[in-house]
Amino acid sequence: AQTVTQSQPEMSVQEAETVTLSCTYDTSESDYYLFWYKQPPSRQMILVIRQEAYKQQNATENRFSVNFQKAAKSFSLKISDSQLGDAAMYFCAYRRGAQGGSEKLVFGKGTKLTVNP
């Protein structure tokens, strides 16, 4: 079974600084997708960024980027120029490719990010 591990229950960063959240996963599949979701105090689950395993290029979305290391099964999220609004729980998630089992997102337990002014 696939598992997702977020080893940092809590992280903090100074406003305008850069922070990296870690995620590792375990799978025997070659076709899969990885996601980072943000959950602010409003509880809404918001998609931050996604990565296709077959793509070597790391995904970026404005101030958010990932470091995808397929061989190491590592998928870290880097937040640059941190803003107060970035404070939230961040969840890493895995999904198998389209050949069955693709309905299920497997989530890590989350990392709580605090942004200090």
Partner 1 sequence: DADVTQTPRNRITKTGKRIMLECSQTKGHDRMYWYRQDPGLGLRLIYYSFDVKDINKGEISDGYSVSRQAQAKFSLSLESAIPNQTALYFCATSDPGLADYSTDTQYFGPGTRLTVL
Which residues make up the interface to partner 1 (CB under 8 A)? 4, 33, 35, 37, 42-47, 50, 52, 91, 95, 98, 102-105, 107-110
Q: Which is nearer to partner 1, 75 or 91 (CB)?
A: 91
Q: Which is nearer to partner 1, 16 or 45 (CB)?
A: 45
Cβ atoms of 51 and 59 within 8 Å: the answer is yes
What secondary structure does DSSP assign to 64-78, as a single string? Answer: EEEEEETTTTEEEEE
- Taking the complex as a whole, how short is the minimal distance between the CB of residue 10 and partner 1, in angstroms? 12
Q: Which is nearer to partner 1, 21 or 95 (CB)?
A: 95
Q: Tell me which DSSP letter residue 58 carries.
A: P
Query: Alpha helices of the chain — where are they, by DSSP H?
Result: none
